[in-house]
Amino acid sequence: MAANELARDIASAAPGLAARYRAVREASLRLAAPLETEDYVVQSMPDVSPAKWHLAHTSWFFEQFLLRPRLEGYRVFHPRYEYLFNSYYEAVGPRHARPERGLLTRPTVAQILRYRAHVDEHMLQLLGGIEPGQGLVALVELGMNHEQQHQELMLTDIKHVLSCNPLEPAYRDDLRASPGPRSAGPVTWTSFDGGLVEIGTDVGAHFCFDNETPRHSVWLEPFALADRPVTNAEYVEFIRDGGYEHPAHWLSDGWATVRQEGWRHPLYWSDGLDSQFTLGGRRELDPTAPVCHLSLYEAHAFASWAGARLPTEAEWERAAAGQPLQGNFVDSGRLEPCAAPDSGGGLRQLYGDVWEWTGSAYAAYPGFRPAAGAIGEYNGKFMCSQLVLRGGSCATPADHVRPTYRNFFYPHSRWQFTGVRLARDGIR
Amino acid sequence: MAANELARDIASAAPGLAARYRAVREASLRLAAPLETEDYVVQSMPDVSPAKWHLAHTSWFFEQFLLRPRLEGYRVFHPRYEYLFNSYYEAVGPRHARPERGLLTRPTVAQILRYRAHVDEHMLQLLGGIEPGQGLVALVELGMNHEQQHQELMLTDIKHVLSCNPLEPAYRDDLRASPGPRSAGPVTWTSFDGGLVEIGTDVGAHFCFDNETPRHSVWLEPFALADRPVTNAEYVEFIRDGGYEHPAHWLSDGWATVRQEGWRHPLYWSDGLDSQFTLGGRRELDPTAPVCHLSLYEAHAFASWAGARLPTEAEWERAAAGQPLQGNFVDSGRLEPCAAPDSGGGLRQLYGDVWEWTGSAYAAYPGFRPAAGAIGEYNGKFMCSQLVLRGGSCATPADHVRPTYRNFFYPHSRWQFTGVRLARDGIR
Amino acid sequence: MAANELARDIASAAPGLAARYRAVREASLRLAAPLETEDYVVQSMPDVSPAKWHLAHTSWFFEQFLLRPRLEGYRVFHPRYEYLFNSYYEAVGPRHARPERGLLTRPTVAQILRYRAHVDEHMLQLLGGIEPGQGLVALVELGMNHEQQHQELMLTDIKHVLSCNPLEPAYRDDLRASPGPRSAGPVTWTSFDGGLVEIGTDVGAHFCFDNETPRHSVWLEPFALADRPVTNAEYVEFIRDGGYEHPAHWLSDGWATVRQEGWRHPLYWSDGLDSQFTLGGRRELDPTAPVCHLSLYEAHAFASWAGARLPTEAEWERAAAGQPLQGNFVDSGRLEPCAAPDSGGGLRQLYGDVWEWTGSAYAAYPGFRPAAGAIGEYNGKFMCSQLVLRGGSCATPADHVRPTYRNFFYPHSRWQFTGVRLARDGIR
Amino acid sequence: MAANELARDIASAAPGLAARYRAVREASLRLAAPLETEDYVVQSMPDVSPAKWHLAHTSWFFEQFLLRPRLEGYRVFHPRYEYLFNSYYEAVGPRHARPERGLLTRPTVAQILRYRAHVDEHMLQLLGGIEPGQGLVALVELGMNHEQQHQELMLTDIKHVLSCNPLEPAYRDDLRASPGPRSAGPVTWTSFDGGLVEIGTDVGAHFCFDNETPRHSVWLEPFALADRPVTNAEYVEFIRDGGYEHPAHWLSDGWATVRQEGWRHPLYWSDGLDSQFTLGGRRELDPTAPVCHLSLYEAHAFASWAGARLPTEAEWERAAAGQPLQGNFVDSGRLEPCAAPDSGGGLRQLYGDVWEWTGSAYAAYPGFRPAAGAIGEYNGKFMCSQLVLRGGSCATPADHVRPTYRNFFYPHSRWQFTGVRLARDGIR
């Protein structure tokens, strides 16, 4: 949550807020629309949640943190939904075990849609009455950003679910591949001076998650960043050079995972390295598109093989300063990473297409204070054993991401749209 | 399958056969009718299959073993269904892994219903043209009995799925409990002489599974059998006497399972021992009804505690000889075991209500020959580490069971309608 | 234990008893003599116990069931040994978990040898004073037979431990292979009539385990038995014919095990099928020797492939009636199964060489009563999911086995000296 | 390893080097001396290695990286030891699986001592002939520091092994507790300004591991550090306040671990919170001694409960600058953390007693380059999912640790001598 120092509450935000609330909530339904009823139910691995769970949980979030405490006379839609749709808030109380979300055939999709309508009706009632100083706007913003995170998860999760089916059904049959240019061109490098930089943000005019705060200084050595993420063609070269057969370039944990899981290529790729499963079904591999669905281990091994390294999150944020916030987001409707547009030499694709693994462990910034109460569990308690990713992906809403935005996953995770941009030490 | 010696093929069976085929197939749909679309999808543990998988697999059985080899010009409904809906026939080819049946959101329920209609249409075409000597009748009978087995599994599986939901949804809201008399009365014992008896059956006028053949002699010592299965009230007494707290009466594997799984009572019971989850939702425990959802381990421990033992399957079959084949089957619509009707002292509830665990390992009868080809895998390859149960349950179709019918499950299995009837050694 | 009806107690047994007690106890030490101190410690899998555990547990058995209750003034050697060396007697009390036996570096081997001496000293004192009617002889006999069982286990366990070492150390360097004749000769079959036979034994003049009682009738159909166990050469033929590659001949659980464990041949064999690890180190495979270290699954699959089946234990015992109790036991010092001696056509190698899997589930004989108290746990509580083996092995003491002797293991177990003799249905 | 840029090689180091080599090697044997032969064999969990493995592996290190490539005519002691005693060097070749080190009864302890003597003899020969420019000194230094690391592991590993034994044998019976003062006194805080600091070291006059290089700048915010580690008494207070019962202060992964493992207190503590298992056997808990055998999760939860946080490694190193390198190391012979000496207000116990968890993920310093070849695997490939600990423990050799020394373990690890010193944000 926007940190607890957030004192002021912009009253004038309320009218626009209701419209934005509606837009965010409708976007979730739009993403779910192509699904068959059966598709909403399945949890293909513990990391994945059923689509209907996402639709319900995001509604529960508003009910739990806004309607129950703040809307007078509000009655919960169903007394057991708190148990079923609380994700991980220990302070709220006991809840359905995460790996068992896929056991729930009820509530049905229809019932969950009624739940959403019920929550929306009351949220709009609440939003209509917001007055300055109530501290509500930040919570509503949090709820909307939370819902946007689940929009991305809904896509990555259903992609995983459908990929487990030998029939390889497409999420949407009308998606079309956007093949890139014949060649993505060789990587070029942009150099940055070292020195003291500021990263992160303070609570202020615009929304941010608490893990982005406070703004603080970091000392950087000179470094260089590749102009674009690694492409499928480059990654195929790594594989063909024995990338998955020799431990030389792998982290110890990474190599153990490769052996245990039998990894031979990124998630969703065919063994022949020529096609991949996408939300549009199986498609030919586009050599010019950013390689995607990499674990941190694979990103690290590739970088080592290429004589480079992963950027730190401070380097990434330093490089992103002043760059336009544009890219291939969910709004483009492509739902797959695409080849980089030509940019005349500067950094490309910092935003959108693929989340870029950094070498930075996800940790508290100096001076970080989690919010009080259950909301304090939103980010802080995950600050261990995960790594930061930056820039958003083709499944991220365009208005959801920021230069200071910190996504985080475990190093073995591959089912998100995750890729890699190389970095190098500069000349000191 | 009716053993391969089956030479004759009753042509006149064909017209009646088509009607019975229709009836069996419709019964499956009738059992599925109360389900929501979401209910058809979930696999709550590896033993359980999704309802839509049952509907598809039983259709595949007819397609694979009758339509493909025997109906000229038949084209399979979908080329991948053989892979998806083959259960365990190694001779047919590779197939979708059993524990992953719940990952399949497609084909949808609607598509599977179309598959059923397609198979039915062609089966009726095939049945219309059956001529003597084709050897088809036995296969059709096998397919229908196979479908009836899956009808029972569909009920036990959906019961398990719904029980995993904290909302405890009922399979049918209109099921009503049939409370028994105030007391089931004390157990009475029926004694049987020892000596040479014949059990099992030979292939002949009526259908049987191959594992019931051949008819053969068994030497029995004198024994006595309880007039009715153990009741809930009796089992509560065992629990209250520390049944699940002391290892004294348990098989070694059973006690290990009790400790590992934390069992304190039969499956579906409340910890307070006063209610149980049923296909009609949560209900008060009927003290007079047969205790149900016991593992072999629990059945054995109870019998030992009660100073008795489990019957052998030969004892059970000897006792069942000449008894009327009637009881509380799926046809009664109760879908739960009920208190025994008064019988004036003889054996009661041999059939229906609960499958009765025997102490007999599931093994080949002397002279047993499995059928040739894939059909030979139907029963024979499971003859290890399982135990025989007899008599059918409240989820078994009345015309499916026989005195010689051998059901079999692993000793830890509890999700079937399984109970226990006590036996004792007689006086030699 | 000799069943609890055992009334009489042969006073004159006492003097001979002490001598036999001494002999049995010394035999254990003789088997342990070739071990290095380090060899005594390791538990290579949960089924295996460290050699020093065997030496201590067998002593504990005498201390627990004889010295403590029967020798006035006896003080236990160490108050915690009851906890450490109780194997599975729930009635005795809590105990060290079986899979953690290999975590105990103390007591040291030297301390355990002192424990043995302490127990022996007091046991001889007790044996010196045995008078008629005390019921002690049966318990002493049980303890000695128990120790003999652990002598065999000590050999099979240390064989497994040493086999896990890439250095493949020999248990004894001075063991020499006893290569058989060039060919074991083709199998010949001995036929037996069907009819009523008696198997098992009653408590009487000689010792038996309770699971062998009571003597009772069994009806047999005519059958035939191979004159000798299956040889290595015959088993190689099965493997070369794709035995481990196709599921056709396997039980369902067996095939699942083959896939999961990656079995390609019997335990201890080289992948090239030309050598095997033995207690004398790695040795060339003797084609004429009985194949050994088979699971029940492999025994069953071979039999099915060969167009035969496993014998039942009643068939085996019927065939063994009147055969001389001789064979390649531990007393021969070979410690490996050897080729069958020529026998002029009759049954060979019924005893010794390899335990022969039967198709009979290990279950209570009709009228079986386990002993009262902790001793009742000796056999009875294991009567589930295991199968009976007959005849003893090259690691069994010659005076330990009997025609009625029932050994039992789980179907996946392979680390005992287990082989297979084929059976066939006879002509009815 | 000292990074590969190490150009110069101090010839004059050689004579002193031989003496130090001898001293380090003898120290290992001295630590092993109290063990029984049986104690050398057991691996109580995958993280633990048997004592004899440590003695052999450290010898293999010298053989592999010095004797084989650099001593002309050297013949390895045993051709399979490379396979058995290579720990994790992928570039060296295949090796015995880590979790199976406890399966090896051979080579015996006596054989491994001969191996050590063989290596020592040839190492001293090699050291006698070292000439400038050979680049050998750095490798020998690495080998000695490597051996010192295993000396500490030998102690922590045997402590774990002995703790698994219900007899709770002591590693040494002659160790005496050193009870601290009645009270450790309240914590005092030392404040540090923020600003640019330098941490790490460059390769130079003294030995360092490659992960400590290069020296580089870090920007720090003002902070304060507790004068001493958290004590047992303070930790008991945390437990009594429900520390292990409520998730509020735990990292998400930490709480999951607490629940799964059933943790109620630090490793080796009694459930009554009044005693702990030590290398001297079970002892009363000293309230004034630093709490020890904490996971990172527990360290973090305590800090959060106390309103503080863990220091970063840069903060720790900044605070340690200029502090005397003294403390309770293995050389004191206490082998347990002890109460802090009074220090008149400054920082105490920075070195020795307990490794102090930092909140810093173990990662490459900016500009880090691992060494070429197998030696490059020494540290670099572990830079993921582990956290840095600082300062050494009561099991660390005094001349092994440095202000820049980085130890690292996974957040769940507790079997090392690990504790926690609190930090706080300063006033900006």
Percent of chain A at pLDDT above 90?
87
pLDDT tens-digit readout, C92-117: 999 999 999 999 999 999 999 999 99
Give the per-residue pLDDT at D428: 58
B9 — pLDDT class (breaks 50, 70, 90): very low
**Predicted confidence (pLDDT) at residue A10 exceeds the cutoff of 60:** no
Give the per-residue pLDDT at C185: 84
Give the per-residue pLDDT at A224: 98
Task: Please check whether residue C39 touches D, CB under 8 A.
Answer: yes
Query: Does one domain contain both A224 and A143?
Result: no
Give the per-residue pLDDT at C344: 74
The residues in A 57-76 lying below 8 A from D, measured between CB atoms, are: none
Query: Does one domain contain both A352 and A404?
Result: yes
d(CA D222, CA C173): 70
Is residue D326 domain-resident?
yes
Query: Does one domain contain both D210 and D146?
Result: no
Is residue C171 domain-resident?
no
- Return the residue matching tokens 């065939």: C319
Percent of chain A at pLDDT above 70?
96
d(CA B415, CA C209): 36
B13 — pLDDT class (breaks 50, 70, 90): low
- Chains in touch with B (3+ beta-carbon pairs under 8 Å) read A, C
B30-56: average pLDDT = 98
B170-184: average pLDDT = 85
Give B-chain residues touching C218 at CB under 8 angstroms: 219
Query: Does one domain contain both A218 and A86?
Result: no
Is residue C118 domain-resident?
yes
Is residue B174 domain-resident?
no
Task: Please check whether residue D92 touches A, CB under 8 A.
Answer: no
**Predicted confidence (pLDDT) at residue B428 exceeds the cutoff of 80:** no
- Give the mutation candidate from C381, C410, C413, C424 for the B interface (greatest B CB count, under 10 A): C381
DSSP B256-271: HHHHHHT--SSTTB-T
Task: Please check whether residue C196 touches B, CB under 8 A.
Answer: yes
D254:A91 CB<8 A: no
Hey, which residues does A281 pair with through a beta bridge? Answer: A278
Query: Does one domain contain both A253 and A392?
Result: yes
B5 — pLDDT class (breaks 50, 70, 90): very low
A105:B42 CB<8 A: yes
Own/partner contacts of D54-57, CB < 8 Å, gap of 24 or more, are D54/D28, D54/D150, D54/D153, D54/D154, D54/D157, D55/D28, D55/D29, D55/D109, D55/D112, D55/D113, D55/D116, D55/D154, D56/D81, D56/D84, D56/D85, D56/D107, D56/D112, D56/D115, D56/D116, D57/D85, D57/D86, D57/D87, D57/D150
Distance from CA of B250 to the nearest CA of C (A): 7
pLDDT tens-digit readout, D113-148: 999 999 999 999 999 988 877 789 999 999 999 999
Query: Does one domain contain both C212 and C73?
Result: no
Give the per-residue pLDDT at C427: 79
Task: Please check whether residue C102 touches D, CB under 8 A.
Answer: yes
Is residue D177 domain-resident?
no
DSSP A362-390: --PPTT--PPSSGGGGTTGGG-SS-EEEE
D339-352: average pLDDT = 87
Query: Does one domain contain both C35 and C142?
Result: yes
Percent of chain B at pLDDT above 90?
87
Alpha helix stretches (DSSP H) within D310-385? 313-320
Task: Please check whether residue D93 touches A, CB under 8 A.
Answer: no
pLDDT tens-digit readout, C154-204: 999 999 999 999 999 999 999 988 777 777 788 999 999 999 999 999 987
Length reported for chain D: 428
Give C-chain residues touching B384 at CB under 8 angstroms: 251-254, 296-297, 300, 411
Give D-chain residues touching A88 at CB under 8 angstroms: 252
A366:D300 CB<8 A: no
Of B361, B425, B428, the CB nearest to C361: B361
Reduced to 3 states, what is the DSSP secondary structure of residue C27?
Answer: helix
pLDDT tens-digit readout, C334-372: 999 999 887 777 899 999 999 999 999 999 999 999 888
| Chain mean pLDDT for chain C | 94
Q: How far is CA A50 from CA A44, A156, B171, in A?
A: 8, 11, 22
Of B248, B251, B367, the CB nearest to C384: B251
- What is the ipTM, given to two decimal places? 0.95
A87-95: average pLDDT = 93
Alpha helix stretches (DSSP H) within A129-181? 136-163
Of the candidate ranges A105-119, A248-262, D253-267, D339-353, the one whose mean pLDDT is the lowest: D339-353
**Predicted confidence (pLDDT) at residue C59 exceeds the cutoff of 60:** yes
A41-66: average pLDDT = 98
> For residue C257, what are its two tokens?
């095990």
> For residue A320, what are its two tokens?
């992103």
Instruction: Give the relative orientation of helices B296-305 and B252-261 as an angle to the nearest 10 degrees.
Output: 120
d(CA D234, CA D289): 10
Query: Does one domain contain both A330 and A379?
Result: yes
Domain end, chosen from C148, C163, C178, is at C163
Give the total number of structural domains in chain A: 2
Give the per-residue pLDDT at B345: 75
Give the per-residue pLDDT at A362: 98
Cβ atoms of B164 and A103 within 8 Å: the answer is yes
Give the per-residue pLDDT at A133: 72
Of C196, C246, C385, the CB nearest to B385: C385
Which CATH number fits the domain that encloses residue B14? 1.20.120
Give the per-residue pLDDT at D9: 45
Give the per-residue pLDDT at B184: 78
B39:A164 CB<8 A: no
d(CA D28, CA D149): 10
**Predicted confidence (pLDDT) at residue A122 exceeds the cutoff of 50:** yes
pLDDT tens-digit readout, B129-153: 888 677 899 999 999 999 999 999 9
Give D-chain residues touching C166 at CB under 8 angstroms: 80, 83-84, 96
**Predicted confidence (pLDDT) at residue C1 exceeds the cutoff of 80:** no
**Predicted confidence (pLDDT) at residue D8 exceeds the cutoff of 70:** no
Hey, which residues does B219 pair with through a beta bridge? Answer: B196
Domain end, chosen from A128, A163, A198, is at A163
- What type of residue is D320? A
Query: pTM to 2 decimals?
Result: 0.95
Distance from CA of C322 to the nearest CA of B (A): 23
Query: Does one domain contain both D24 and D99?
Result: yes
Cβ atoms of D303 and D422 within 8 Å: the answer is yes
Question: End-to-end alpha-carbon separation of chain A, Å?
Answer: 39
**Predicted confidence (pLDDT) at residue B423 exceeds the cutoff of 60:** yes
Number of H helices and E strands in chain B, helices first, is 10, 13
Nearest by Cα to D228 from D403, D36, D54, D391: D391
D95 is in which domain, residue-wise?
4-163
Distance from CA of B297 to the nearest CA of C (A): 9
d(CA A39, CA D91): 47
Is residue D173 domain-resident?
no
Q: Which residue of B has its CA nearest to C375?
A: B248
Nearest by Cα to B264 from B277, B251, B254, B273: B273
| Chain mean pLDDT for chain D | 94
Q: How far is CA C426 from CA C192, C225, C283, D111, in A?
A: 7, 9, 39, 60
Is residue C84 domain-resident?
yes
Give the per-residue pLDDT at D385: 97
B216:C217 CB<8 A: no
Give the per-residue pLDDT at D175: 93
Of C40, C106, C167, the CB nearest to D165: C106
B381:C252 CB<8 A: yes
**Predicted confidence (pLDDT) at residue B115 exceeds the cutoff of 60:** yes
Task: Please check whether residue A45 touches B, CB under 8 A.
Answer: no
d(CA A166, CA A182): 31
Which CATH number fits the domain that encloses residue D242? 3.90.1580.10
D214 — pLDDT class (breaks 50, 70, 90): very high
The residues in D 213-242 lying below 8 A from A, measured between CB atoms, are: 216-221
Percent of chain C at pLDDT above 70?
96
Assess whether chains C and D touch, using the rule of 3 or more C-beta pairs within 8 angstroms.
Answer: yes
pLDDT tens-digit readout, D368-423: 998 888 899 999 999 999 999 999 999 999 999 999 999 999 999 999 999 999 99
Query: Does one domain contain both D218 and D367?
Result: yes
A247:D90 CB<8 A: yes
C13 — pLDDT class (breaks 50, 70, 90): low
Give A-chain residues touching D219 at CB under 8 angstroms: 196, 217-219
Give the per-residue pLDDT at C36: 98
CB-neighbour burial class of residue B351 (10 A; exposed 0-12, middle 13-18, buried 19+): buried
Of the candidate ranges B246-260, B287-301, B369-383, C282-296, the one whose mean pLDDT is the lowest: B369-383
Of A296, A367, A384, the CB nearest to D251: A384
C26-48: average pLDDT = 98
Task: Please check whether residue B83 touches A, CB under 8 A.
Answer: yes
**Predicted confidence (pLDDT) at residue B3 exceeds the cutoff of 50:** no
**Predicted confidence (pLDDT) at residue D180 exceeds the cutoff of 80:** no
Q: How far is CA B51 from CA B116, B184, B418, in A?
A: 13, 35, 21
**Predicted confidence (pLDDT) at residue D200 exceeds the cutoff of 70:** yes
Domain end, chosen from A124, A147, A163, is at A163
B38-67: average pLDDT = 98
- Give the mutation candidate from C43, C100, C103, C158 for the D interface (greatest D CB count, under 10 A): C103
* Strands A355-361, A387-390: pairing kind: antiparallel
Query: Does one domain contain both B275 and B343?
Result: yes
pLDDT tens-digit readout, C381-406: 999 999 999 999 999 999 999 999 99
Give the per-residue pLDDT at D177: 80
**Predicted confidence (pLDDT) at residue A428 exceeds the cutoff of 80:** no
DSSP D266-328: STTB-TTSSEEEETTEEEE--TTSBP-S--HHHHHHHHHHTT-BPPPHHHHHHHHTT----EE
D161:C105 CB<8 A: yes
Assess whether chains A and D touch, using the rule of 3 or more C-beta pairs within 8 angstroms.
Answer: yes
- Chains in touch with A (3+ beta-carbon pairs under 8 Å) read B, D
Query: Does one domain contain both D217 and D360?
Result: yes
Give the per-residue pLDDT at B371: 83
Is residue D139 domain-resident?
yes
Give the per-residue pLDDT at A13: 57
A88:D252 CB<8 A: yes
Q: How far is CA A243 from CA A235, A261, A286, C361, in A?
A: 9, 15, 20, 51
Which helix (H) or strand (E) covers residue B199, if one does?
Answer: strand B195-199
Of A39, A104, A166, the CB nearest to B105: A39
